[in-house]
Chains A and B, each alone.
Chain A
């Protein structure tokens, strides 16, 4: 994959006001044709959240478009600067609300990288298991809504049925169905309940045949293929230049998965394949993600086998400067009481410095850049939100396409607007 200066693509990404300027100077040409400015969203059902698209249309064809984002901006990065490291974990859930565990993971992993904090092996394995279930959860919502956008309604009901199972598992584990906030720096918040592993095993056994069911409905479906095959093609060079990541990048034929290439949390010890597409169209992105669900089941099963051997091992580090001591210890150990008090009133203090950590979330590379000034509050936390960056590929992909394909394109990029706007 060697590229030279002339081969690296230069892609223009217009802004909404540049599209609006077209309307001011919109005279019919010599054939009497005139382009039209259409504002799609922010409350359009197929924009998967509050996304507005300023679209310049010529008849049914998209001349150019610009995503207008920021409607869900809640200033998470600014708020984190005023809280201690541990308190901010709940904020990270709210970015990508379909994959909360991935957000928790990248945030705590960045702090662990900054502090050079080790994580016990059992906690790492549990993290892998949870991250893969989260991936399935997120892909199910993507699949359901994507199919719904293209008028295949049954898939939506089927996908939501299995997702409900996953949400029940999350509820059993953390008490919350979506905003789990389960990860902590150095490990996990608390140990898994006794019936967690059997329940997850049940789910995986139940789930794997369901993937075939979804594929039966879509993969060879003529209508589905007509809407997706050869539509929204991104070639590999453009995909890299646009910063696409995750299944969007792999569908274009670039074999890059952070779980394989820059492993974290022990992913290098698991056997799994990374599905890679060829054409970079909507159909390939669909095939990649569906296959990823099967691979996730594979990883989750390996993690469960390991967890069965690790019964009784710690779920969080015993470094008392980072992780609170068990409650039972507080009643007889003065030192534990002090640690508990210091952690809950003040928090821990990572050393001065900065760190960037990236993991493979269901949507692509989610990254976290943490700057510490040595106090219990982070100086700066920045999230590389994969949805935000994938979304800016939309003007390039949609150029010259039909308006009806735009709906399919948005869904195939799989943005979550909570993460786009943060």
Chain B
């Protein structure tokens, strides 16, 4: 069993650029996206860490912040009874991130869902398709600028934006 302080030391020794933080009492690492497979693979394969179980992977859209998107991964080590969070920031201009589906097969569906909902592209994913929304759906519905479904009322301050996105609304 390793404790939290040891894990922090080992991670900062191995990956000096990883920022260590705290998420509601859980240990949390902010990882550059290029480093993600290396960090996740290292956490998984080190015998005394063995974070072999990927709990969940999801996206968050921080509209108005730069970088706009964030992918959040939770890994659990059965051996150490410990859970860590990985935060990976993804800019809007280039919403790509290396896939984890080749390291953790369970990430497959969850990356497809994150792609479906946020338009984040997981490079190297074996079948990155929509999973919950219809195949011909336009847009990514959990982005903050995706409307909830009702027609937005056009005012002078937003009519250009609405007409640009929904030409049929101009009647």
Residues of A within 8 A of B (CB): 1-5, 8-15, 17-18, 69-70, 73, 75, 77-79, 82, 113-114, 116, 240-243, 254, 256, 261-262, 353-356, 358, 365, 367, 369, 371, 379-380, 382, 384, 388-389, 391-392, 396, 421-422
B127 near A369 with CB under 8 A, answer: no
Among A18, A69, A396, A421, the residue within 8 A (CB) of B127 is A18
The 3 closest A-B pairs by CB, nearest first: A243-B106, A355-B24, A384-B56
A389 vs B58: C-alpha distance in the bound complex, in angstroms? 13
Give the residue name and chain of the B residue nearest to A382 (CB): B58
CB distance from B63 to the nearest CB of A (A): 10
CB distance from B89 to the nearest CB of A (A): 14
In the complex, besides A13-B126, A392-B108, 6 extra interface pairs with C-beta distance below 8 angstroms are: A243-B55, A355-B26, A367-B74, A380-B61, A382-B72, A384-B74
A54 vs B156: C-alpha distance in the bound complex, in angstroms? 49
CB distance from A111 to the nearest CB of B (A): 10
Decide yes or no: A14 and B127 within 8 Å by CB, A2-B79, A392-B106 being known contacts.
yes
15 contacts between A and B (CB under 8 A): A2-B47, A10-B102, A70-B133, A82-B148, A113-B25, A243-B53, A254-B78, A262-B81, A354-B23, A354-B72, A356-B85, A367-B56, A371-B60, A384-B58, A389-B106
Among A8, A15, A365, the residue within 8 A (CB) of B129 is A15
Decide yes or no: A77 and B142 within 8 Å by CB, A356-B56, A369-B58, A369-B72 being known contacts.
yes
Contact flags B45-84 to A (C-beta < 8 A → 1, else 0): 1010010111110101110000000001010001101010
B105 near A11 with CB under 8 A, answer: yes
Give the residue name and chain of the A residue nearest to B108 (CB): A13
Give the residue name and chain of the B residue nearest to A112 (CB): B24
CB distance from A387 to the nearest CB of B (A): 11
Residue numbers in B under 8 Å from A388 (CB-CB): 109, 113
Residues of B within 8 A of A (CB): 23-26, 41, 44-45, 47, 50, 52-56, 58, 60-62, 72, 74, 78-79, 81, 83, 85, 102-106, 108-110, 112-113, 117, 126-127, 129-135, 141-142, 148
Residue numbers in B under 8 Å from A354 (CB-CB): 23-24, 60, 72
B148 near A69 with CB under 8 A, answer: no
A80 vs B108: C-alpha distance in the bound complex, in angstroms? 25
A22 vs B22: C-alpha distance in the bound complex, in angstroms? 47
Which among B25, B58, B134 has the highest number of chain A CB atoms within 10 Å? Answer: B58
CB distance from B129 to the nearest CB of A (A): 5
Give the residue name and chain of the A residue nearest to B54 (CB): A243
A392 vs B117: C-alpha distance in the bound complex, in angstroms? 18
A153 vs B41: C-alpha distance in the bound complex, in angstroms? 47
A175 vs B7: C-alpha distance in the bound complex, in angstroms? 48
Residue numbers in B under 8 Å from A422 (CB-CB): 132
Residue numbers in A under 8 Å from B58 (CB-CB): 369, 382, 384
Residue numbers in B under 8 Å from A73 (CB-CB): 132-133
Decide yes or no: A13 and B127 within 8 Å by CB, A353-B24, A389-B106, A421-B132 being known contacts.
yes
A241 vs B54: C-alpha distance in the bound complex, in angstroms? 8
B23 near A356 with CB under 8 A, answer: yes
Residue numbers in B under 8 Å from A18 (CB-CB): 127
CB distance from B141 to the nearest CB of A (A): 6
A254 vs B76: C-alpha distance in the bound complex, in angstroms? 14
Decide yes or no: A241 and B104 within 8 Å by CB, A262-B83, A389-B109 being known contacts.
yes
Residue numbers in A under 8 Å from B117 (CB-CB): 77
A388 vs B57: C-alpha distance in the bound complex, in angstroms? 12
A75 near B141 with CB under 8 A, answer: yes
Among A2, A12, A384, the residue within 8 A (CB) of B126 is A12
Decide yes or no: A3 and B50 within 8 Å by CB, A353-B23, A392-B106 being known contacts.
yes
CB distance from B156 to the nearest CB of A (A): 25
Residue numbers in A under 8 Å from B44 (CB-CB): 8
Among B55, B62, B105, the residue within 8 A (CB) of A358 is B55
A2 vs B49: C-alpha distance in the bound complex, in angstroms? 9
A367 vs B141: C-alpha distance in the bound complex, in angstroms? 21
B142 near A78 with CB under 8 A, answer: yes
